[in-house]
Chain A
Amino acid sequence: MTDDTWRRERMVEWLEDGPSDVPVAALEAAVAFARAHPRRLRSARGLWRVVMTRLHLIEVTPRSSGGRFNFALGPTVVAVVAVAALVGAGLWLGGGLTTPGGDVNPTATPTLSSTPTPTPPIETTRPTAGPTAWVLPPGWASGSQVCVARNEGTTATVDGVVESRGQVQDCTTTSSDPRLSGTAVITMSSDELEDGTWLGWGSHETTNADGSWRGEYAVTSTATASVMGFDAVSLGFGAYEGLQVLMHVVIRYTGDVTVDGIVLPVGTEATGTETCSATGAGHDLAVGDIVATRGLEMSCTDTMSDERLSGARTLDVSVDTRADDSADLWGTSIVSNDGGTWEGFFFGTVDPGYTTHHVRSLLYGTGEYEGLLFRLEVAGTGDPGFDLRGEIIDTR
């Protein structure tokens, strides 16, 4: 017998030699969980269509038309795209939005309600700041957007939450500022909770002959909403290098999407570091090939070169992890210090192997920071901490 064969046999014997008892407690705990969380039979795809119809966001046209749509979420996304180009930031209007002619008050909680472990749901930290009305400010460009779905993505229902992933839309944005006009590609994922509240998020890139604007967005709505609105910030590339766009997007039940925006120079960025620890482990569930972690709570200490941006940051995090351990993550966060708070939504990715994070946020100021936006980028592995870059944008 060769050494290799001997070692291989030792390894196989050792691998095969393990506990043969089944931990019945674990099996029964899972069965008990199933009994406590009965599942209703619903068609995920059908539900998605119902949701879209209920939101008045989708207009289905005959097949012969080439599958063109105008949909709410699409517009949203589109709008977002338009918005931004941006550096990214998804902004969650937790305080609600009232638009001329509209009646929206988004109250969605941007985390899933699923609780796969028999523990009480973790309370979500929810941003409460945000614009409550929208009138086109002086200096802003007005615009509109039309989209065509390229890929409807996939949809699955998990514990009553309709999870749609990977929708892609091709859009055309027309703005009174030609720098914001162009063709846009918007990706969108969304969660529809059982009570009809809805959270969508994704990325967008608007391109024209001179350059592009790139960023991320997030938007919430309710089952009865006829208007959705949100803000976003995008960064410029090409001829727009050094510029950013602050955008406000409104999607009406009619399918009309307005994309208002203003181009601003990227200011001097503050830099700093962030150290975090988990204060709530959350829970995991499987969604197709994805492992979905919900309700993860983090507590961080942010130290920035601009003291207004330093403070204690709490985060409520959702993570979708793929087989290669790359991930999408999103959630809400609040930075608190003596001057007030910065509250908003974040969105980002993690590289394969769950290594480097790339996270972007757009946060609304409260207290002394009322009327200010904080564009924040977080990067790094978290070991020993994350690198922060950010800028205050004065919207007053």
Chain B
Amino acid sequence: MQRELVERARDGDVEAFRDLVYEVGKRLHAIAVRILRDPDRAEDALQQALIQMWKGLPGLRDPDRFEAWCYRLVVHASYREARRDNRWTATVREIRTEPGDADRVAEVIDRDEVERSFRRLSPEHRAVLVLHFVIGLPAREIAEVLGVPAGTVGSRLHYATQSFRAAFEADARNVVSWRASA
């Protein structure tokens, strides 16, 4: 089904393109928003990727590679969006907590630590984590998406996980210190 849509869209069928956009849009948005951690910029990256999709479809020789190709478009659109002003902006989400809701407070602290840890990673490392843990791609397919050797994906995945762990532990130590000095 998707192959037929891809072939029709590649031939200039706008309605087929529309169907494709709605079919893959959610997954592409999920990638962009997790790499960029900013919904507005993620939306910009998604739109750019989709426009590139329309522009680039005639050059897609193998329709079966469509999804991997789309992932590549949105990953690179996210890179460019992040690089546009050379800074990574954060989305601050307010999570209301009630006094005494200890579990909820602990969750907020956990999430904040994870967020900070993730934010310390480079966009390339974030992309590997997102493609692996969110989209569920194996290293070989991530390599195809990113246009790098599978070995590079493996090392990036390892490095990203290790970096995440180190950042996480550093943040945990800071929290302990802050608590100790309070």
Contacts and interface: CB of A to CB of B under 8 A. Distances in A.
Select the residue from B55, B76, B130, B147 with max chain A CB neighbours within 10 A: B55
Given A16-B133, A23-B43, A116 B21 contact: no
Contacts of A114: 55
Interface in A105-142: 114, 116-117
Contacts of A322: 147
B51 A15 contact: no
A285 B56 contact: yes
Interface of A: 4, 7-8, 10-12, 14-16, 18-20, 22-23, 25-27, 29-31, 33-35, 37-41, 44, 114, 116-117, 156-159, 281, 284-289, 291, 321-325, 354
12 contacts: A7-B164, A7-B168, A26-B47, A30-B47, A35-B14, A37-B55, A39-B54, A116-B48, A281-B84, A285-B55, A286-B73, A291-B52
Contacts of A354: 83
Contacts of A27: 21-22, 25, 46, 50
B58 A39 contact: yes
A26 B56 contact: no
A166 to B, nearest CB: 14
B46 to A, nearest CB: 5
Interface of B: 11-12, 14, 17-18, 21-22, 25-26, 29-30, 33-34, 39, 42-44, 46-48, 50-59, 72-73, 76-77, 79-80, 83-84, 110-111, 114-115, 117-118, 129-130, 133-134, 146-148, 161, 164-165, 168
Q: Which 5 A-B pairs have the closest CB atoms?
A: A323-B147, A286-B56, A30-B50, A156-B59, A286-B52
Given A284-B80, A354-B83, A30 B54 contact: yes
B17 A23 contact: no
Contacts of A159: 55
Query: Main SS of the interface on chain A?
Result: mixed
B12 A291 contact: no
Given A15-B130, A324-B148, A23 B46 contact: yes
B22 to A, nearest CB: 6
B50 A39 contact: no
A34 B83 CA distance: 26
